[in-house]
Structure 1
Amino acid sequence: MRIGELSRATGVSTRSLRYYERQGLLTSERRPNGYREYGPQAVRQVDLIQDLFSAGLPSSLIRDILPCTGPTPPTGDCTALLTRVRQIRDELAGQEQRLAKRRAMLDDYLSGAAAPAAFDSTDRFRHLRQRAAAQNASPPRPSPTPHPVNSFQPELDVAR
């Protein structure tokens, strides 16, 4: 199948397919006219590449993983790759925990349960929240009348 057919079959742009080839994630044969020809396994492989990218894996790791997913066992050991994928998963879990902590902190600030360290009390921060809410609820101010640009036009005496 040619690149356009593979693109339609997978929903992946031809540009992305070419990128996958440059990264060593996908292979094709060249026809005499220069067109790429992909084998029947290409659709499955592109789907797998997309899934691994969606999981947040870099192309360098995906390139190493792909041989471990084929029908014939690879010559190398795939356990080191599994360790690396677990490490990436654990890093992602750490990021999720940090985001949850930040979100909870902002929720506390917004609810009045806590105030940022720069404020000496929650009352002062509550006043700031109330002021912001009042500004958001007030009707919009009319915009000033526009100032005419280049309003001075000197008269030209063309008779001279």
Structure 2
Amino acid sequence: MKIGALAKETGVSVRMLRYYEAEGLLAPARTSGGYRDYGSADRDTVERIKMLGASGMTLPVIQKFLPCALDTRGEFEPCDELTDILKEQMALVADKILRLQESHALLCELHAKVDNRSLDG
């Protein structure tokens, strides 16, 4: 499939797909005319990249983690050498959750003060 079709199927822009290729995350076959020819394995790889990105991983971390992908399933089996990266990513997400909870508490406090003012006036 051509790059535009892959972009449409995955919801990832053509520009980003080219970036993935430049970074070594994708290696599409080439037609005799030199055009990229993406297959279902490339589509699966893009979906894995999206899933890992949604978990908070950056592309450099995803580059290290992708080799642990199980090709036959949409799942991952952490490689032993990447267990530390996985733990680090979990800690980063936990920290983000804590900061969001603190932000939420502050917003609730401010909202309560605004509500009390409107009741007083």
TM-score by length of structure 1 reads 0.59
Match of 1:30 in 2: 30
Task: List gaps (5 residues or longer) in structure 2.
Answer: 73-77
Amino acid of the structure 2 residue aligned with 1:2: K
What is the Cα-based RMSD across aligned positions, in Å?
2.8
3-state SS of paired residue (2:40)? coil
After superposition, give the CA deviation of every residue in 1:15-51 in whole Å (9 maximum; x if it has no partner).
1111110111111122232211123311111111111
Task: List gaps (5 residues or longer) in structure 1.
Answer: 113-125, 134-160
**Which protein has the bigger helix share?**
2
Q: Does 1:17 align with 2:17?
A: yes
TM-aligned CA distance change 1:39 to 1:107, over 3 Å: closer
Match of 1:89 in 2: 90
Amino acid of the structure 2 residue aligned with 1:53: G
- In the alignment, the residues of structure 1 paired with residue 93 and residue 40 of structure 2 have an alpha-carbon distance, to the nearest angstrom, of 34
Higher relative contact order (CA 8 A, sep 6+): 2
- In the alignment, the residues of structure 1 paired with residue 9 and residue 83 of structure 2 have an alpha-carbon distance, to the nearest angstrom, of 29
Q: Contact 2:56–2:93 (CA<8 Å) still a contact in 1? A: no
- Kindly state the Cα deviation for residue 110 of structure 1 after the two structures are TM-superposed: 4.0
- In the alignment, the residues of structure 2 paired with residue 9 and residue 29 of structure 1 have an alpha-carbon distance, to the nearest angstrom, of 18
- In the alignment, the residues of structure 2 paired with residue 14 and residue 79 of structure 1 have an alpha-carbon distance, to the nearest angstrom, of 33
TM-aligned CA distance change 1:27 to 1:94, over 3 Å: same
Sequence identity of aligned pairs in percent? Answer: 35
- The runs of at least 4 aligned residues of structure 1 exceeding 3 Å deviation read none
After superposition, give the CA deviation of every residue in 1:92-135 in whole Å (9 maximum; x if it has no partner).
212221331243234334434xxxxxxxxxxxxx8xx73xx5xx
TM-score by length of structure 2 reads 0.75
- In the alignment, the residues of structure 2 paired with residue 55 and residue 106 of structure 1 have an alpha-carbon distance, to the nearest angstrom, of 25
Match of 1:108 in 2: 109
After superposition, give the CA deviation of every residue in 1:131-156 in whole Å (9 maximum; x if it has no partner).
xx5xxxxxxxxxxxxxxxxxxxxxxx
Between stretches 97-106 and 31-40, larger displacement belongs to 97-106
- In the alignment, the residues of structure 1 paired with residue 110 and residue 3 of structure 2 have an alpha-carbon distance, to the nearest angstrom, of 53
- In the alignment, the residues of structure 2 paired with residue 2 and residue 94 of structure 1 have an alpha-carbon distance, to the nearest angstrom, of 40
Bigger-Rg structure (1/2): 1
